[in-house]
Amino acid sequence: MAASHRSLTRLTDKKCVPCNLKELRPMSEDSAQTLMPQVPEWSLVNDGGVMKLRRSWTVRTFSKGLDFFRIVSVLAESEGHHPDLHLVGWNNVTIEIWTHAVGGLTENDFILAAKIDKLDVLDLLRRKPSD
C-alpha cells in the first residue's frame, strides 16, 4: 500500500494556504491525530467544541517572553497564519493555533506549529534544572 504524497511531505516543507479558500474545512479529530507525531510537543485540545493546538514554554524574563512573541510573529506573518499568543504571569508563554476562519484545525495549524518548533529560541527559555 503506497502512502500518499501529501503524507510524505514534512510539515516544515509546506506553506500555509489562504484561509479564505471555500474548500477549506476543519479536520476531524482522527485526521488531527495522524499529524500529532510531527508536532509532539504540542497538545490537541478541545476548547468549547473547537479543536486547537496548544503549547507552553517558560521564558527567562518578561522581556524574553515578548522577544519570543516577536520571533513567532515574524514567522506567522510570513505564513499568513496567526496564532493566539498568551503571556501569563511574568514568564509563561502559551501559543494556541487554530484556523479561526473555519472554527477548527486545518493542516495550516500543524504547519505553523512545526515551524515554531524549529525557531531558535533556546536563549530565551528558562533552563530546566538537571536531575
* pLDDT for the residue 14: 67
Q: How is the chain split into domains, by residue range?
A: 27-120
Give 69 or 23, the one with higher predicted confidence: 69
In this prediction, residue 37 has a pLDDT band, given cuts at 50, 70 and 90, of very high
Distances (CA, A) of 85 to 34, 37, 76, 82, 98: 25, 23, 11, 9, 12
- Look up cell 536531575; give the residue: 131
Burial of 6 (0-12, 13-18, 19+ CB in 10 A): exposed
CATH number given to 27-120 = 3.30.1360.20
The model's pLDDT over 106-124, given as tens digits with 9 standing for 90+, comes to: 999 999 999 999 999 999 9
